[in-house]
Amino acid sequence: MTLSSSNTLSRWPTDRLLLWLLRGAAAIAGAIVLLIVAFLVMEALPVLRHVGVARFFTDPSWHPAEGLYNLTPMLWGTLFAMVGSVLIATPLGILSAVFCHYYAPPVVTRPYRKLIELLAGIPSVVYGFWGLVVLVPLIGSIHPPGPSLLAGIVILAIMILPTIALMADASLANMPPQYMRGAAALGLSRWATIRGVVFPAAKSGLFTGVILGTGRAIGETMAILMVCGNVVQTPHSLFDPMRTLTANIALEMAYALGDHRAALFVSGLVLMGMIVALVGAADWISRGRIYG
Amino acid sequence: MVNTLERHRDGREWLASTLVWIAAALVTATFCWLLGDILWHGLSHISWTFLTAPPQNAGREGGIGPILVSTALILGVCLGVSVPIGVGTAILLAEFTTDANLFGRLTRRSLDVLSGVPSIVLGLFGNAFFCKTLGLGFSILSGGLTLACMVLPVLIRSTEEGFRAVPTGYRLSAAALGLSRTTTLVHLLLPAAVPGLLVGLVLGVGRAMAETAALIFTSGYVDRMPESLLDSGRALSLHIFDLSMNVPGGDANAYASALVLVVLLFAINGTASWLAGHWLHRRIVTI
């Protein structure tokens, strides 16, 4: 609700002062993203200028000390971990929300929802720690070495599951009740109602949740750093150790200098690009096709 | 014919509900395993001395006293900076701009992107801007400022909703009485919008406290008691990371620190959803 705009007719000078103060605050808040991009570009520019973009994909390996900057193993690492975790967390998260709304006995619904909310509140470093002391030895006993792509996928899946489940839960709660009544009047069974009526109607909310989860999976650093083994290589099996773009920044930033440091800012730019694309996609989905 | 159809349908019904129950059981089991593990190993190490003593022998022994102080200082800086900017922005977006306003739209879009920026990228930015360009070095101030960038979107969204929940009648009555907009804002809208602000504040604190990646290269690793805001200070989450990754034999204290962090976060998130439920009469999604 807006009752005033910039052409306010108010006679009070304090009002004008207030408006400029508020505009100042908003300008700072809005400029942060621009500042982030500007600083990433500025720090990355030296290496981009005299090494070029192509060599980040064509160099034989990632050995920044020797001037070799191949980011592709880390890009694959990020991509594999993301796809794997989204593939696991999406069905589990959506089924969780379905459970809450249509299957759970009333006594269970509230505690279960609380549980998902608590799961969403656990910090990534705790997930990582648990993965390190419980999950990694477990995987190691099945198929050494233990720290692996699989460990990363499982931890990420547990981490993004609450995001997907809570978004799905919210969009199921927004279902127009007449849809359910219509389905009941047609004599549809429970699963047929969910598959034929609920899923299509809640589609955009479900997609938005999955995209938010994907964003978290791409950006996650600590948990994945702790369980993945951090060997720079393109993983060829689920049990291979690997390193993601985010983990690479966290590991090497401490001692990186010159071009090496700049190369890490290039990977920061790549991550930023991925996130902007995802935010755009989420925006497009939630605006264009609500209940479509 | 009818019989086979019936049976086919029953089979699918049965399969679907089995899958749904399995999914729910799996999620519950994972949750209990994770939390049980941390409770089981952490609880025996928690004591008053652990909470107040300084860490010794790289954290293997001793407690987390200075680390709790550093965490609190980082949070203080973070809130001290983000609350004025966040509330100002929220007021502008909710009260003084129409949906069609270009400045408002750009600000909103930019905040959407900001809320998705990976924390490690924020860490890179904080290192380049606060530590290097502004010359603050590895310090609690740099860390707090970096976290302020991170919590702004949450804070603004929640505060804005608080303002939008105030009935239009308030503004109309105030305008009819000839009150200035500043007076209306300070005496009518702000008190009525406090619940939204508080929810945003609590959510922001939770988010900031859980953060690790953005702090590694901004607030640093030093585990001594900080003497000023320009000292480096280690946050609790970073302490857990350091103990489990870089200190062999630090697992026991890492468990205890993890338990402290999880309990603090549960308390914070619980407060947020209680506030939202009682004052705003809506559910919040803590993503």
Task: Confirm whether the ipTM is greater than 0.90.
Answer: no
The distance between the two most distant Cα atoms of chain B, rounded to a whole number of Å, is 82
Bridge-based pairing state of the strands B55-56 and B61-62: antiparallel
Say yes or no to pLDDT of A9 above 80: no
Q: Which residue of B has its CA nearest to A99?
A: B20
Question: Shortest Cα distance from B89 to chain A (angstroms)?
Answer: 4
Question: Shortest Cα distance from B265 to chain A (angstroms)?
Answer: 7
Mean pLDDT in residue range B112-139: 91
pTM of the model: 0.88
The helix (run of H) or strand (run of E) holding residue B55 is strand B55-56
Residue A261's nearest CA partner among A45, A80, A97 is A45
What's the rounded Cα separation, in Å, for the pair B51 and B239? 13
Question: Shortest Cα distance from A280 to chain B (angstroms)?
Answer: 9
Residues in A touching B121 (Cβ below 8 Å): 36, 40, 219, 249, 268, 271-272
Q: Which tokens is B114 given?
A: 């900001």
The answer to whether A32 faces chain B, any CB pair under 8 Å, is yes
The helix (run of H) or strand (run of E) holding residue B61 is strand B61-62
pLDDT digits (tens, 9 = 90+) for A26-67: 999 999 999 999 999 999 998 888 888 888 888 888 888 888
> Contact B142/B218 with Cβ under 8 angstroms?
yes
pLDDT digits (tens, 9 = 90+) for B3-49: 665 666 778 889 999 999 999 999 999 999 999 999 999 988 888 98
pLDDT digits (tens, 9 = 90+) for A178-202: 998 999 999 888 899 999 999 998 8
Residues in A touching B238 (Cβ below 8 Å): 125
Q: Per DSSP, which regions of chain A are E strands?
A: 62-63, 68-69
Nearest Cβ partner for B261 among A15, A95, A126: A126
Burial of B58 (0-12, 13-18, 19+ CB in 10 A): middle
Q: How many CA atoms lie within 13 A of B162 on its CB side?
A: 31
pLDDT digits (tens, 9 = 90+) for B195-227: 888 888 888 888 899 888 999 889 888 888 888
pLDDT-based confidence at residue A217 (cuts at 50, 70, 90): very high
